[in-house]
Amino acid sequence: MNETKPHILLIDGMALLFRSFFATAHSGQFFRNANDIPTNGVQGFARHTMSAISIFQPTHMAVCWDMGAKTFRNELFADYKAHRPAPAPELVPQFDMAREVSETLGWKNYGIPNMEADDLIGSMIKTWKNEAKLTIVSGDKDLLQLLGPDVSIAFTKKGYTQYDEYNEARFIEEYGITPAQFIDMKAFTGDSSDGYPGVKGIGPKTALKLIQQYGSVDGVLAAREELTAGVRKKIDADGEMLMLSRELATIHCELTLDDPLEQLIIPEFTEDRARLMNQQGYSLIARQGLSVSPF
């Protein structure tokens, strides 16, 4: 029965776009089109996605996008991701271009204002986890909390073809906690890249030990009297931020996604699509598409 399950590839679009942009921008290779607009990130994103399709052989796919810099998490905590530098001017026009190319290629795209791509990915997993195998392609370790029996994550590693793949069993073996408990661990450590601190003075080793021993943030708080004086003092000083950090770390999986699974079927890359990509100045996408297409 499991052999006939659909296999859905969930692409973190912005993660691949940023990765592709910086892979060539450092050497000044922006691959400008006829209008002098850089296309390096767009072409890299599409090529990376095509390679992932070739490697993981999914039957269905969704590309998930962040829609602007602000989300509901900024309403909870004003400094959430606030310290990140503004995107390079060469990258800015490529945000819309990447989604347009993705849609032109016939890929199903999702983006909801005020939500992150992670929340869309989490909601898709909740929607389809009992009916399909799911593979996430991203560079974002926050997604580890979504691992499950039929959910794996392929973290970008090198180039377009090398990934560090995690399934639920590997995560449990390495961390000694469940994927869902990863949220509680991050509540203590915070996330420097996202700009929330967790509990000052509690690092990953201590946080992991606490969750392994007490199961959750609530379990740690219930066992406050058993904690060392140093740990107890740190938690008492940052108790409010501990609870807020847990909320910020939690991927929201409650978005309603009504599209039937058939809408996520991956279309073939045809000669017509290749011509269209060439006409729009995306020759690298055209070549990549024809090289990996089985048609």
Question: Residue 293 CB: number of other CB atoms within 10 A?
Answer: 16
CATH H-level, domain 2-173+252-292: superfamily: 5'-nuclease (3.40.50.1010)
In this prediction, residue 1 has a pLDDT band, given cuts at 50, 70 and 90, of very low
Q: Determine how many CB atoms are found less than 10 A away from the CB of residue 56.
A: 17
DSSP helix/strand/coil, 247? helix
* CA angle in degrees (0–180, nearest 5) for 42-46-51: 145
Q: Where are the domains of the chain?
A: 2-173+252-292, 178-249
pLDDT of residue 3: 59
pTM score: 0.95
Averaged confidence pLDDT in the chain: 95
Grouping H, G, I as helix, E, B as strand and the rest as coil, residue 207 is: helix
CA dihedral 186, 136, 94, 77 (to 10 degrees): -20
**Identity at 150, one-letter amino acid code:** D
User: 3-class SS at 26?
Assistant: coil
Q: Sheet containing 60-64: give its strands across.
A: 108-110, 60-64, 7-12, 133-138, 151-158, 162-166
Name the superfamily (CATH) of residues 178-249. 5' to 3' exonuclease, C-terminal subdomain (1.10.150.20)
Q: What is the pLDDT of residues 50-75, one digit of tens each?
A: 999 999 999 999 999 999 889 999 99
Tokens found for residue 35: 């209008």
Q: What is the largest CA-CA distance in the chain?
A: 69
Confidence at 17, pLDDT banded by 50, 70, 90:
very high
Q: Do domains 2-173+252-292 and 178-249 have the same CATH topology?
A: no
CA–CA distance, 102 with 111 (Å, rounded to integer): 12
Q: Which residues contact 253 (CB under 8 A, 6 or more apart)?
A: 119, 122, 123, 125, 126, 146
C-beta of residue 167 within 8 angstroms of C-beta of residue 186: no
> What are 118's two structure tokens?
């992670």
